[in-house]
Amino acid sequence: MSPPVSSDADEIVEFRSLWWEKGIFHPKAKWEEEKLPYTLVKSVSLEEYELRVDKFNVHGCWDWKENKVIVYEWPSKVHETIIGELTYQILRQFDAIHGTPAHMSSMGAVRTRADNTGHESDATFSPPNPPVRPPHGSDGEDEPWPNVVLEVAYSESEGDVLKKVQQFWLKNPSRVHDVIVVKIDYVAPGETPTRMQAWHFCVSDRTTRNADIVARTYFEFGTHDQNGRPLNIQQGTCVININLDCFYHGTFPRITIPRNQVPDPIQLDFLLLRNCFLRAFEKI
């Protein structure tokens, strides 16, 4: 008897498994056709997950939950360009104190563990912070949580990224202090994104212990809205402000917040961000 012929669906699953097995993001996996989140593999320890994340450099793409590796985002120029531009906007405002005791660090896609889950943000920012009481640290031990987290969603859905903010990053006041979320609506390969949204959440805005935190700031900053209508954004209308007290929350008592050396608040101009982002997609 001849062996059964594999279906196209089986072949796609095989190509997708290469990302976990060998770190190969194969074009025949047809990731662009898949609705995320996608369970890449089951019955995996957190230690094995972390080893492969490092080995294949897939920070910010996979999460680990209940012994499953789940894909929330896949690598893309859109995703990485936004992260890079926003990171630059933030860090350049701290140039005056670079290398001093109050130095603001960007720790990239820092690894965190909590609630039987392993998450990595897209970018994190924090000064030197003291260890915390185990097991409440970001590593499940005494590692302090970052103060400001950036989450960028492109292939990830708006609902999933906002759920992660409320149920993980801002779950309690001992974790992250502020979260910036950017959602870029997905477009077909070769097209330039047009709809872009941004949120800013601050733990100081929590009203009751178990309630979701309402975004302090929200706006659309793309070239078009969700209905395809052009947006005419004016300078100064799409801005997120984060106070230095938020960036330096919980730092060592010996560190003085550098209010006279860096801007307070740190201001993020999303019209500038959009313009820099779109230049990366110019075709002429």
* Predicted confidence band of residue 97 (pLDDT cuts 50, 70, 90): very high
Q: How far apart are CA 188 and CA 174, in angstroms?
A: 40
Q: 202, 271 in Cβ contact below 8 A?
A: no
- What proportion of the chain, given as a percentage, has pLDDT over 90? 81
Closest by Cα among 225, 222, 233, 173 to 201 = 173
CA 117 – CA 112 distance, rounded (Å)? 8
For residue range 161-211, list pLDDT tens digits in order: 999 999 999 999 899 999 999 999 999 888 999 999 999 999 999 988 778
* Residue 2 pLDDT exceeds 50: no
Residue 159 has phi, psi (to 5 degrees) of -60, -40
Q: Distance between CA 24 and CA 199 in Å, rounded?
A: 33
Give the list of residues 6+ apart from residue 163 with CB closer than 8 angstroms, or none: none
Q: Which residues contact 144 (CB under 8 A, 6 or more apart)?
A: 126, 129, 130, 131, 132, 137, 138, 250
The tokens of 37 are what?
């989140």
pLDDT of the residue at 1:
43
Indicate the pTM of the whole model.
0.91
Under the banding of pLDDT at 50, 70 and 90, the label for residue 59 is confident
- Pairing between β-strand 148-153 and β-strand 178-184 as defined by DSSP bridges: parallel
- The Cα–Cα gap between 268 and 263 comes to 11
Q: What is the mean pLDDT of the chain?
A: 93
**268's tokens:** 């993020």
Rounded Cα distance between 167 and 179, Å, is 12
Nearest to 156 by CA among 202, 131, 120, 113: 120
Angle between helices 77-92 and 270-279 (to 10 degrees): 130
**47 close to 60: Cβ distance less than 8 angstroms:** no
